[in-house]
Amino acid sequence: MEAAESGRPGPAASSSSSSSSSSPPAAAEGEKTGPAAMRRSDRDGGADGRNVGFVLVHAGAGYHSESKAKEYKQVCKKACQKAIEKLQTGALAVDVVAAALIELEDSPFTNAGMGSNLNLSGDIECDASTMDGKSLNFGAVGALRGIKNPILVANKLLSEAQKGKLSAGRIPPCFLVGEGAHKWAVDHGIVPCPPDIMTTKFSLSAFRKNRRKLELAEKVETEMIQTKKRREVTENVSVFIFTLSTNVTASLDTVGAVVVDHEGNVAAAVSSGGLAMKHPGRVGQAAVYGCGCWAENAGGHNVYSTAVSTSGCGEHLVRTMLARECSVALQSEDAHQALLETMQKKFVRSPFLACEDSVLGGVIVLRCCRCSMDSESALNTPALLVEFLWSHTTESMCVGYMSTQDGKAKTHISRLPPGAVAGQSLAIEGGVCRLRTSVN
């Protein structure tokens, strides 16, 4: 196991290989990490302390080519800007995170909403979910067709559930799939769209290439079975499947976002078109509770508010419940070390994935708590301390982040260091900021 650790993303960032030991993440805008070490910086909140907030988004853990780096970063930038616009109007985290996801779903460069991978039948079926850290309510859809923005349905399920029981004391749904999800969405005012609108030239081209390769592989398999070479068939098919999932469409993956609002509420969301050439009806981690996203406000046994969004191979993330595992771990004193150990012990070396040669996935996380802006000052201005991190075992992961007082979003494509093996090594990076607030 190798862990790539580096500092604040940007031109000066490095991505060198190191041992599994951890060091604190480099602070954003030159700050030192840890509540006691924090000082004023360009990331301090505005003068009135109202409507502050922070957003971190990802455009997938997979492979992001240098030739399309500008496009990947641009979509993350737009998602951050949309989220900040909502935060500045006083919107709460659960609605802000949905606004960020809509921007990510609408991009033809992501595997979510428009441009999603096509399944074996040539159709687009999407998964999405969202969680509100304040109410702990959850909304999700799986294998959903004909809805341009699946996150809207997940968000609507969450908000409708908060209204209480239905007629005759029925429990409102929080997770719907297939035709039932589509009908519920339309009945609740979400406009459907023709399937061909969601298909892009790129996704259709990838589907045709994958189908030709699949037909060839099946032909070879049949011939080899007839010659009683079953062992070689297994090896050849395994190599073929890996080629489909990592080389042809690896630049497209699940998208997600995590947000903290001016009240200190957190929320998380995730959306995905799923694996290329997946079986119709397949539901991945993006719709599954505790696997695709997690959000939980501080209180009770939780010192920190935490929000997590995952990406990667859905089956690997479902079997490890990675989103909730990360959230629980982030209650430790050292967030960076906690995430590093979780990715190593609970994911890459998880006993539930012991038979897997390559464990592929990534996460974005944030945690926050209230602190003092000036610990030695009589004014003792209240603030939110926000720590944000991302980690991945895939070749790369594209992220963007922004606070309400930043002039523009920062974007970064994190990559494994040279020589690191995807699925066996991991990278981890992040930063810290404080947001001045008038909320007690």
Q: Is 152 exposed, middle or buried (0-12, 13-18, 19+ CB in 10 A)?
A: buried
DSSP 67-78: GGHHHHHHHHHH
* CA atoms of 38 and 384, how far apart (whole Å): 11
Burial string for 46-64 (b: 16+ CB within 10 Å, else e) reads: eeebebbbbbbbbbbbbbb
Neighbouring residues of 120: CB distance < 8 A, sequence distance ≥ 6: 277, 278, 279, 280
Coil/strand/helix, residue 150: helix
Amino acid at position 209, single letter: K
Contact indicator for 425, 416 with CB cutoff of 8 Å: yes
Say how far apart CA 132 and CA 94 lie, in whole Å.
5
CA angle, 156 then 161 then 166, to 5°: 115
**DSSP letter string over 199-267?**
--HHHHHHHHHHHHHHHHHHHHHHHHHHTT-HHHHHHHHHHHHHHIIIIISTT---EEEEEE-TTS-EE
- In the set 33, 199, 254, 342, the catalytic residue is 254
For tokens 């209480």, name the residue. Answer: 164
Q: What SS3 state is found at 121? A: coil
Query: Looking at residue 391, what DSSP letter applies?
Result: E
Residue 5: which H helix or E strand, with range? Answer: strand 3-5
Distance of CA 215 to the CA centre of its chain: 33
Q: Is 254 a catalytic residue?
A: yes
Q: Is-contact 330 367, C-beta < 8 A?
A: yes
- Cα–Cα distance between 114 and 108 in angstroms, integer? 6
C-alpha separations of 283 from 5, 18, 118, 256 in Å: 33, 36, 13, 17
**27 contact partners, CB below 8 Å, separation of at least 6:** 8, 33, 431, 432
Q: Whose structure tokens read 């990490």?
A: 33
**Catalytic positions, written as ranges:** 254
